[in-house]
Structure 1
Amino acid sequence: MHIVSRAILVSFYSQPAHADAREAIEAWFAIAQKAQWRSPADVKAQFGNASIVGNNRAVFNIKANDYRLIVAFAYRMQWAYVKFIGTHAQYDAVDAATVDQTQLKEPPWKSIPSAPSRTTRPRWPPLPS
């Protein structure tokens, strides 16, 4: 799968408050990048704890369910679009079938006190590659 919006994942785990998610996010990314999923059933076969939520989206539990990752799939094209990454509490506040962090002015973790200043924070939303 070609993973779109990887910058969202990197921006998320680059925040000091979420640095503990880096290893788990990168592990998910490595698996997903090598995968050739053709259907939600293929996703479930590889990630049994993933939830299929409609709109060709799946929710992945990251780092023992401390974090949630929502990805939309274009199976025929082999594209996976990162739509959301956040804490379990942040996930509870969104609609998994429609959320799209790339459309937000700022990511939900901006308000974290330990986040770097605006001058050192990666650009949000990320520029298309």
Structure 2
Amino acid sequence: MRIISKRILREFWKKHSQSQSGLLLWYQRISDSELGTFNDVRKIFPSADLVGNFTVFNIKGNHYRLITYIDYDSQILFIRAVLTHAEYDQENWKNDEWFKNS
């Protein structure tokens, strides 16, 4: 799986240093994977959630949330946001132009 973009992760862990190890582990596991469906994601990350058309990952024991859009056909994962749990709960990320709630 190709990930766009690791820069977003780096910028987040510069502000929230305790997130770095969890984000790096997530990055390694996803980039080494070939995912065909959301069920494949759940095999690697059982706590991942499908919210609208976004896949949301819990990072570091649910302290952080990673919001992504996955194009399974192209094998590209787009990082849309990395948030603290409190930021996630405000739901501002749902204003992302890519977000479609089904």
Partner of 2:5: 5
Structure 1, unmatched stretches of 5+, are 101-129
What RMSD over aligned residues (CA atoms) do the two structures have, in Å? 1.4
Query: Closer, same or farther in 2 for the Cα pair 1:36/1:30, shift >3 Å?
Result: same
Relative to its length, the structure with more helix (as a share) is 2
TM value normalised by structure 1? 0.71
| Structure 1 runs of 4+ with >4 Å offset | 95-98
Q: Which has the higher contact order (CA 8 A, sep 6+)?
A: 2
Relative to its length, the structure with more strand (as a share) is 2
Partner of 1:127: none
Partner of 1:106: none
Q: CA deviation at 1:98?
A: 5.0
Question: CA–CA distance in 2 between the matches of 1:35 and 1:23?
Answer: 19
Identity %: 33
Partner of 1:37: 35
Question: CA–CA distance in 2 between the matches of 1:36 and 1:99?
Answer: 26
Question: CA–CA distance in 2 between the matches of 1:9 and 1:68?
Answer: 11
Question: CA–CA distance in 2 between the matches of 1:85 and 1:31?
Answer: 17
Q: CA deviation at 1:94?
A: 2.1
Query: Bigger radius of gyration, 1 or 2?
Result: 1
Structure 2, unmatched stretches of 5+, are 98-102
User: Matched residue pairs, number?
Assistant: 97
Partner of 1:65: 62
